[in-house]
Amino acid sequence: QVQLAESGGGLVQAGGSLRLSCAASGSIFSLNGMGWYRQAPGKQRELVATITSAGSTNYADSVKGRFTISRDNAKKTVYLQMNSLKPEDTAVYYCNGDLVPRQTMRYTTYWGQGTQVTVSS
């Protein structure tokens, strides 16, 4: 089975930092575009950051200068370094990616299970 597994969420005070990880498992031919999304209670899921296979990145305006997305293709893992956290960053953070399983050799979108990030004031 091909899966994305997230880790690194938790409770942190405003101004603190967290590093989220998203590891892909299973028989995977390639990981292509990857991204992080977040969803707060009562709100729509929003895009936080994306990274292409070549390493090009894009960020939501609300996190520019504070968050950094990166990837390690050898480890089949994508990261989200979150610095200077604010209470408004509180949300469930989801990993998303376009993967090519060896079983199908076709692009398929996968989502992680989500990890809670809570920032206290």
Mean pLDDT of the 32-37 span: 97
| Residue-level pLDDT at 117 | 98
pLDDT tens for residues 70-97?
999 999 999 999 999 999 999 999 999 9
Tracing tokens 């390690």 back to the chain, one arrives at 72
Euclidean distance between CA atoms 84 and 41, whole angstroms: 22
Phi then psi for residue 88, to 5 deg, are -70, -5
Which of 47, 32, 37 lies closest to 114, judged by CA? 37
